[in-house]
Amino acid sequence: MQRGKLIGIGVGPGDPELLTVKAVKALKKAPVICAPRSSASRPSLALSIVRTVLEEHKSEHEIIEPLFPMIEDKKALEKYWDGAAQLIIEKLNQGLDVAFITLGDPTLYSTFSYVLKIIRDEDIVVDIIPGVTSFTGCAASAGITLAEKDEIVVIVPKVDERLSQILEHGDTFVIMKTSRHTDLLEDIINQDERDKLIISVQNCSMDDEKVFKGFANDKKYLSTTIVKFRDDNEDNKN
Protein backbone atom coordinates (compact mmCIF):
# COMPACT_ATOMS: atom_id res chain seq x y z
CA MET A 1 0.00 0.00 0.00
CA GLN A 2 1.28 3.45 -0.89
CA ARG A 3 1.79 5.67 2.11
CA GLY A 4 -0.15 8.86 2.50
CA LYS A 5 1.29 12.35 2.26
CA LEU A 6 1.68 14.87 5.07
CA ILE A 7 0.42 18.35 4.15
CA GLY A 8 1.36 21.24 6.41
CA ILE A 9 -1.24 23.96 5.96
CA GLY A 10 -0.99 27.52 7.27
CA VAL A 11 -4.48 28.79 8.09
CA GLY A 12 -3.51 32.42 8.70
CA PRO A 13 -3.98 34.59 11.80
CA GLY A 14 -7.69 34.06 12.40
CA ASP A 15 -10.03 35.27 9.67
CA PRO A 16 -11.20 32.31 7.55
CA GLU A 17 -11.27 34.60 4.51
CA LEU A 18 -7.47 34.81 4.73
CA LEU A 19 -7.13 31.12 3.88
CA THR A 20 -5.40 30.66 0.54
CA VAL A 21 -7.19 29.01 -2.36
CA LYS A 22 -4.63 26.20 -2.28
CA ALA A 23 -5.24 25.63 1.44
CA VAL A 24 -8.99 25.41 0.93
CA LYS A 25 -8.60 22.89 -1.91
CA ALA A 26 -6.31 20.69 0.18
CA LEU A 27 -8.58 20.82 3.21
CA LYS A 28 -11.59 19.77 1.18
CA LYS A 29 -9.79 16.66 -0.05
CA ALA A 30 -7.73 15.45 2.92
CA PRO A 31 -9.16 12.34 4.61
CA VAL A 32 -7.48 13.21 7.92
CA ILE A 33 -7.20 16.65 9.52
CA CYS A 34 -4.65 17.04 12.31
CA ALA A 35 -5.52 20.00 14.56
CA PRO A 36 -3.19 20.30 17.58
CA ARG A 37 -4.57 21.65 20.84
CA SER A 38 -2.65 23.55 23.51
CA SER A 39 -4.85 22.11 26.26
CA ALA A 40 -7.28 19.23 26.60
CA SER A 41 -9.87 21.72 27.83
CA ARG A 42 -9.43 24.19 24.97
CA PRO A 43 -10.66 23.77 21.40
CA SER A 44 -8.19 24.12 18.57
CA LEU A 45 -8.16 27.70 17.26
CA ALA A 46 -6.80 26.51 13.90
CA LEU A 47 -9.70 24.06 13.65
CA SER A 48 -12.24 26.81 14.33
CA ILE A 49 -10.76 28.82 11.43
CA VAL A 50 -11.26 26.01 8.92
CA ARG A 51 -14.54 24.67 10.29
CA THR A 52 -16.66 26.19 7.52
CA VAL A 53 -14.35 24.76 4.86
CA LEU A 54 -14.54 21.30 6.41
CA GLU A 55 -18.32 21.46 6.29
CA GLU A 56 -17.91 21.48 2.51
CA HIS A 57 -15.59 18.45 2.58
CA LYS A 58 -16.27 16.22 -0.41
CA SER A 59 -16.11 12.96 1.54
CA GLU A 60 -15.90 11.46 5.01
CA HIS A 61 -12.96 12.75 7.01
CA GLU A 62 -11.42 12.20 10.42
CA ILE A 63 -10.17 14.89 12.79
CA ILE A 64 -7.34 14.09 15.19
CA GLU A 65 -6.35 16.57 17.88
CA PRO A 66 -3.02 15.72 19.54
CA LEU A 67 -2.00 17.72 22.57
CA PHE A 68 0.82 20.27 22.29
CA PRO A 69 0.87 21.80 25.79
CA MET A 70 2.41 25.19 26.48
CA ILE A 71 5.08 24.08 28.94
CA GLU A 72 8.81 24.75 29.22
CA ASP A 73 9.99 21.20 30.00
CA LYS A 74 11.68 20.22 26.72
CA LYS A 75 11.86 16.50 27.51
CA ALA A 76 8.16 16.43 28.29
CA LEU A 77 7.40 18.38 25.13
CA GLU A 78 9.42 15.96 23.03
CA LYS A 79 7.20 13.13 24.26
CA TYR A 80 4.11 15.03 23.12
CA TRP A 81 5.71 15.82 19.75
CA ASP A 82 6.72 12.20 19.24
CA GLY A 83 3.25 11.00 20.24
CA ALA A 84 1.65 13.34 17.70
CA ALA A 85 4.10 12.25 15.00
CA GLN A 86 3.42 8.57 15.63
CA LEU A 87 -0.33 9.17 15.44
CA ILE A 88 0.15 10.90 12.09
CA ILE A 89 2.50 8.19 10.80
CA GLU A 90 -0.10 5.56 11.68
CA LYS A 91 -2.61 7.33 9.42
CA LEU A 92 -0.03 7.79 6.66
CA ASN A 93 0.83 4.10 6.77
CA GLN A 94 -2.84 3.38 6.11
CA GLY A 95 -2.48 5.25 2.84
CA LEU A 96 -4.29 8.34 4.12
CA ASP A 97 -3.11 11.89 3.48
CA VAL A 98 -2.97 14.00 6.64
CA ALA A 99 -3.49 17.78 6.59
CA PHE A 100 -1.74 19.33 9.60
CA ILE A 101 -3.29 22.76 10.22
CA THR A 102 -1.41 25.48 12.03
CA LEU A 103 -1.94 29.17 12.77
CA GLY A 104 -0.08 31.59 10.52
CA ASP A 105 2.52 29.87 8.37
CA PRO A 106 3.87 26.32 8.88
CA THR A 107 7.49 27.43 8.43
CA LEU A 108 7.51 30.15 11.10
CA TYR A 109 7.34 29.36 14.85
CA SER A 110 4.84 26.61 14.16
CA THR A 111 3.93 23.41 15.98
CA PHE A 112 4.24 21.78 12.57
CA SER A 113 8.03 22.15 12.68
CA TYR A 114 8.37 19.78 15.65
CA VAL A 115 6.43 17.02 13.94
CA LEU A 116 8.13 17.64 10.60
CA LYS A 117 11.56 16.80 12.04
CA ILE A 118 10.30 13.39 13.14
CA ILE A 119 8.27 12.68 10.00
CA ARG A 120 11.20 13.52 7.74
CA ASP A 121 13.21 10.70 9.34
CA GLU A 122 10.51 8.30 8.17
CA ASP A 123 11.06 9.20 4.50
CA ILE A 124 7.50 10.40 4.06
CA VAL A 125 6.42 12.79 1.30
CA VAL A 126 5.65 16.24 2.73
CA ASP A 127 3.93 19.22 1.12
CA ILE A 128 3.82 22.64 2.76
CA ILE A 129 1.17 25.22 1.94
CA PRO A 130 2.14 28.67 3.22
CA GLY A 131 -0.29 30.88 5.09
CA VAL A 132 -0.68 34.55 5.93
CA THR A 133 1.62 35.28 8.87
CA SER A 134 0.34 36.93 12.01
CA PHE A 135 2.67 39.89 11.69
CA THR A 136 1.77 40.72 8.10
CA GLY A 137 -1.85 40.44 9.18
CA CYS A 138 -1.14 42.79 12.09
CA ALA A 139 0.52 45.35 9.81
CA ALA A 140 -2.47 45.22 7.48
CA SER A 141 -4.90 45.69 10.36
CA ALA A 142 -2.86 48.64 11.63
CA GLY A 143 -2.71 50.20 8.17
CA ILE A 144 1.09 50.40 8.12
CA THR A 145 3.91 48.96 6.03
CA LEU A 146 6.59 46.78 7.58
CA ALA A 147 9.48 47.82 5.36
CA GLU A 148 10.49 49.94 2.39
CA LYS A 149 13.58 49.96 0.16
CA ASP A 150 16.51 48.42 2.08
CA GLU A 151 15.03 48.58 5.59
CA ILE A 152 15.74 45.64 7.86
CA VAL A 153 12.85 43.78 9.52
CA VAL A 154 13.55 41.69 12.63
CA ILE A 155 11.10 39.09 13.97
CA VAL A 156 11.46 38.61 17.73
CA PRO A 157 9.83 35.51 19.31
CA LYS A 158 11.06 36.25 22.84
CA VAL A 159 12.27 39.40 24.57
CA ASP A 160 15.66 39.01 26.28
CA GLU A 161 19.15 40.53 26.19
CA ARG A 162 19.56 39.64 22.50
CA LEU A 163 17.05 42.32 21.53
CA SER A 164 19.21 45.00 23.20
CA GLN A 165 22.22 43.77 21.27
CA ILE A 166 20.62 44.00 17.83
CA LEU A 167 18.23 46.92 18.28
CA GLU A 168 20.46 49.50 16.60
CA HIS A 169 20.81 47.32 13.49
CA GLY A 170 17.12 47.06 12.58
CA ASP A 171 14.48 49.44 11.25
CA THR A 172 11.31 47.53 12.07
CA PHE A 173 10.90 45.05 14.92
CA VAL A 174 7.98 42.65 15.17
CA ILE A 175 7.72 41.31 18.71
CA MET A 176 5.52 38.23 19.12
CA LYS A 177 3.35 37.44 22.16
CA THR A 178 4.32 40.68 23.86
CA SER A 179 1.89 40.33 26.76
CA ARG A 180 4.37 37.98 28.47
CA HIS A 181 7.20 40.51 28.74
CA THR A 182 5.82 44.03 28.25
CA ASP A 183 7.85 45.75 30.99
CA LEU A 184 11.19 44.45 29.73
CA LEU A 185 10.23 45.28 26.16
CA GLU A 186 9.38 48.86 27.08
CA ASP A 187 12.70 49.28 28.89
CA ILE A 188 14.69 48.04 25.91
CA ILE A 189 12.77 50.01 23.27
CA ASN A 190 12.88 53.25 25.29
CA GLN A 191 16.67 53.06 25.43
CA ASP A 192 16.75 53.79 21.70
CA GLU A 193 16.47 57.53 21.08
CA ARG A 194 15.32 57.27 17.47
CA ASP A 195 11.83 58.44 16.53
CA LYS A 196 9.54 55.47 16.66
CA LEU A 197 6.03 54.29 15.98
CA ILE A 198 4.73 51.58 18.31
CA ILE A 199 1.61 49.66 17.33
CA SER A 200 0.10 46.67 19.12
CA VAL A 201 -2.47 44.28 17.70
CA GLN A 202 -4.41 41.72 19.69
CA ASN A 203 -6.34 38.80 18.19
CA CYS A 204 -5.45 39.87 14.67
CA SER A 205 -8.26 39.55 12.08
CA MET A 206 -10.64 37.98 14.61
CA ASP A 207 -14.01 39.39 15.70
CA ASP A 208 -12.48 40.83 18.88
CA GLU A 209 -9.40 42.31 17.20
CA LYS A 210 -7.94 45.37 18.89
CA VAL A 211 -5.40 47.77 17.34
CA PHE A 212 -3.81 50.57 19.36
CA LYS A 213 -0.70 52.70 19.72
CA GLY A 214 1.75 51.68 22.42
CA PHE A 215 2.51 48.41 24.16
CA ALA A 216 0.08 45.65 25.07
CA ASN A 217 -0.22 45.71 28.85
CA ASP A 218 -2.92 43.10 29.40
CA LYS A 219 -2.47 39.35 29.12
CA LYS A 220 -3.94 38.56 25.72
CA TYR A 221 -1.92 35.62 24.39
CA LEU A 222 -2.22 36.57 20.72
CA SER A 223 -0.60 40.00 21.08
CA THR A 224 1.96 41.40 18.65
CA THR A 225 3.80 44.71 18.86
CA ILE A 226 5.39 46.40 15.85
CA VAL A 227 8.08 49.00 16.49
CA LYS A 228 9.19 51.13 13.53
CA PHE A 229 12.28 53.27 13.91
CA ARG A 230 11.86 55.88 11.20
CA ASP A 231 12.05 59.62 10.73
CA ASP A 232 8.92 59.63 8.60
CA ASN A 233 6.69 57.47 10.77
CA GLU A 234 3.32 56.63 9.34
CA ASP A 235 0.28 57.59 11.37
CA ASN A 236 -1.94 54.73 12.47
CA LYS A 237 -5.28 55.43 10.92
CA ASN A 238 -7.21 52.82 12.89
Total-model pTM:
0.90
pLDDT bin (cut points 50, 70, 90) of residue 216 is confident
Lowest-confidence range among 35-39, 101-105, 150-154, 231-235? 231-235
Closest CA to 223 of 137, 148, 145: 137
As a three-state string, the secondary structure of 54-96 is: HHCCCCCCEEECCECCCCCCHHHHHHHHHHHHHHHHHHHHCCC
* pLDDT tens figures, 109-123: 999 999 999 998 888
Check residue 222 and report its DSSP letter.
S
- Determine the pLDDT at residue 231: 60
- Determine the pLDDT at residue 178: 86
CATH code 3.40.1010.10 for 6-129: yes
* pLDDT tens figures, 58-98: 778 999 999 999 888 999 999 999 999 999 999 999 999 99
Q: Is the pLDDT of residue 233 over 60?
A: no
* pLDDT tens figures, 159-172: 999 999 999 999 99
For CATH 3.30.950.10, the residue range(s) in the chain are 134-229
For CATH 3.40.1010.10, the residue range(s) in the chain are 6-129
Query: Is the distance from CB of 180 to CB of 173 less than 8 angstroms?
Result: no
- Determine the pLDDT at residue 138: 96
CATH number at 134-229? 3.30.950.10
Q: Is the pLDDT of residue 235 over 80?
A: no
Q: Which residues pair with 104 in a beta bridge?
A: 12
